């Protein structure tokens, strides 16, 4: 398997840069429904966290996980993890529609929650999670890998903070992905479960917009979705785009799709274009291309 | 003056490829309000047309034009051109809000009209021109230089015709321009006269969308404009974007602005991204960059 061709199983490894001592921050992994869980665990461990437990109803998934991280203990139930007072955080990549429910359960047990994107599939879930965060004082954190786990994307944020391009006026993002339908689980094709393309992979784009422009809130001015060619999967939206305006007047357009051409060596030629009052910033091929460094930046 | 830095005075010269014999197709130039008139005349002459007359109310503009094309005769009035039975076509780059009026006059005198973009600033003008075309049987043609006078843009059309990328599903276009306000005439800053940024430079983008997708019609689903920083010119829209859907389901997003950074060697890093059912086509730096060929294409 060429992992570059599969975004869902791409698990970046970064530089080890520990911010906690051994045993200081213990975490567990559960809900191995999406391959992103591996990248999430890599990131936590590189920062010094200790992976203690893994649990998933599908024992095969736990076995595969243990092959990657041999020191991990396979729990008999989620409750083993939730009752373990040593565990400070639970990382999970559940089916999107189940992410909120799991997160609230985790926080109610006094642990922080680290979920793969998208964090929610409905606005009701968002409200429930907000309430639970207030009640428990715990954190509901999201793995937006396209910004958090891409060196050029982090660097772009630092440059913007330093005023390198002035005030950010507009952000255009392209998030193409490879479908590889044969490797996808059934929930991936059920809209109620994956939440729609704008929710699933579009949420990456919106997070980047909010972060780079420094907006706290934004309005969706227009959006559209389509099933152009994946007719055998009637609930799969294979194309989507949206345009937003932020609370400081900055605007965004993004488009996402499941239509990376077969010939491309990566799962998608992602791009980000930032227009500032003084300069422009372009991040091209944010994802790893064969033989290239991951992420190329132009100013 | 670095002409690469000024889109308004950029007059591309192409390959001479005559399609008519000498004397067979005589034309005249008038309304020298925008520098594009030079590119328009170059293109016509390279195709074998004979430039006979020039007329503009501002004699200085005529003199400058004659320096470029010494054989041209400066007419005393527009009527000299309109009454000349030898003249088959009048090329003009009037103030946008005046383009339709001039075109109808030209067609009523039995001549075809070739105007710089944007061809209209109001829908009423469009209706008047349609009516005049039907009544006179003459042509109202538009110089969309970004597609017609860029080799890679023409080649992209040929590739699409040959089915190289499949059915075109989506077109994203960036049309940034350099402001250089000090070199601009007063009408450039009056919305009634230039028609707004989506009309002025956005029309290039819409023409490209219709052409590459083979749509006859399209609906504007959403658009926005802003004056982010050119506060001394309150009627100048320095940013605009829009998203459209065509009659065959293809969609477009484009953004245009007057905010090319000072450091860039060209007046704007224009880009075009075409998503087809099979492949994707990218045209980058559609305009000439110093030391580079004009237009670079990636498939």
Q: In sequence order, what are the residues at sequence separation of 6 or more whose Cβ sits closer than 8 angstroms to the Cβ of residue A160? A: A168, A212, A274, A276, A281
Distance of CA A245 to the CA centre of its chain: 22
CA angle A34, A36, A37 (to 5 degrees): 85
pLDDT(A1) > 50: no
pLDDT(B3) > 70: no
ipTM of the complex: 0.83
pLDDT(A250) > 90: yes
B172 at the A interface (CB within 8 A)? yes
> Does the beta-carbon distance from A224 to B241 stay under 8 Å?
no
- Residue A293 has a CB neighbour count (10 Å cut-off) of 11
Structural domains of chain B sorted by starting position, each given as residue range(s) with its CATH number in brackets: 3-143 (3.40.50.720), 147-298 (3.30.360.10)
Beta pairing partners, A73: A53
Question: Residues of B with CB below 8 A from A228's CB?
Answer: 169, 249, 277
Q: In sequence order, what are the residues at sequence separation of 6 or more whose Cβ sits closer than 8 angstroms to the Cβ of residue A137? A: none
B273 at the A interface (CB within 8 A)? yes
The model's confidence at residue B230, banded by pLDDT at 50, 70 and 90, is confident
Among A175, A262, A275, the residue to mutate for chain B (most B Cβ within 10 A): A275
Q: Which among A239, A261, A279 is the nearest to B279, CB-wise?
A: A261
CB pairs under 8 A between A and B: 79
Tell me how close the Cα of A187 comes to any Cα of chain B, in angstroms: 25
DSSP one-letter code for A118: P
CA gap A220, A23 in Å, rounded: 44
pLDDT(B184) > 60: yes
3-state helix, strand, coil in chain B (%, to 5): 35, 25, 40
A226 at the B interface (CB within 8 A)? yes
Q: Which among A174, A222, A226 is the nearest to B222, CB-wise?
A: A222
CA angle A127, A131, A136 (to 5 degrees): 145
> Does the beta-carbon distance from B259 to A275 stay under 8 Å?
yes
Q: Is A242 helix (H, G, I), strand (E, B) or coil?
A: strand
Question: Residues of A with CB below 8 A from B243's CB?
Answer: 222, 224, 241, 243, 253
3-state helix, strand, coil in chain A (%, to 5): 35, 25, 40
The model's confidence at residue B19, banded by pLDDT at 50, 70 and 90, is very high
Q: Which among A222, A269, A278 is the nearest to B243, CB-wise?
A: A222
Question: Residues of B with CB below 8 A from A275's CB?
Answer: 176, 257, 259
pLDDT at A4: 60
Q: In sequence order, what are the residues at sequence separation of 6 or more whose Cβ sits closer than 8 angstroms to the Cβ of residue A166? A: A276, A277, A278, A279
Tell me how close the Cα of A259 comes to any Cα of chain B, in angstroms: 8
The model's confidence at residue A225, banded by pLDDT at 50, 70 and 90, is very high
CA gap B285, B266 in Å, rounded: 9
């Amino acid at each position: 398997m060429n992992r570059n061709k599969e975004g869902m199983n791409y698990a970046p490894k970064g530089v080890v840069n520990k911010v906690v001592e051994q045993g200081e921050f213990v975490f567990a992994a559960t809900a191995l429904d999406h391959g992103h869980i591996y990248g999430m665990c890599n990131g936590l461990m590189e920062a010094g966290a200790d992976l203690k437990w893994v649990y998933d109803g599908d024992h095969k998934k736990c076995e595969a996980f243990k092959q990657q991280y041999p020191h991990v203990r396979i729990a008999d139930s989620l409750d083993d993890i939730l009752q373990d007072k040593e565990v400070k955080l639970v990382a999970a990549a559940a089916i999107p529609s189940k992410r909120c429910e799991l997160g609230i359960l985790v926080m109610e047990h006094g642990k922080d929650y680290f979920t793969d994107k998208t964090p929610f599939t409905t606005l009701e879930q968002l409200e429930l999670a907000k309430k639970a965060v207030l009640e428990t004082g715990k954190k509901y954190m999201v793995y937006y890998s396209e910004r958090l786990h891409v060196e050029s994307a982090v660097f772009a944020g630092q440059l913007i903070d330093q005023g390198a391009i002035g005030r950010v006026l507009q952000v255009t993002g392209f998030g193409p992905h490879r479908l590889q339908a044969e490797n996808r689980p059934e929930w991936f094709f059920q809209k109620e479960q994956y939440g729609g393309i704008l929710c699933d992979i579009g949420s990456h784009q919106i997070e980047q917009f909010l972060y780079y422009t420094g907006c706290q809130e934004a309005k969706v001015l227009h959006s559209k979705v389509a099933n152009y060619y994946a007719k055998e999967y009637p609930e799969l939206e294979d194309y989507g785009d949206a345009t937003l305006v932020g609370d400081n007047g900055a605007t965004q357009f993004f488009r996402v799709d499941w239509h990376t051409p077969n010939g491309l060596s990566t799962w998608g030629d992602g791009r980000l274009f930032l227009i500032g009052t003084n300069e422009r910033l372009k991040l091209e091929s944010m994802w790893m291309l064969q033989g290239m460094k991951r992420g190329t930046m132009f100013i």
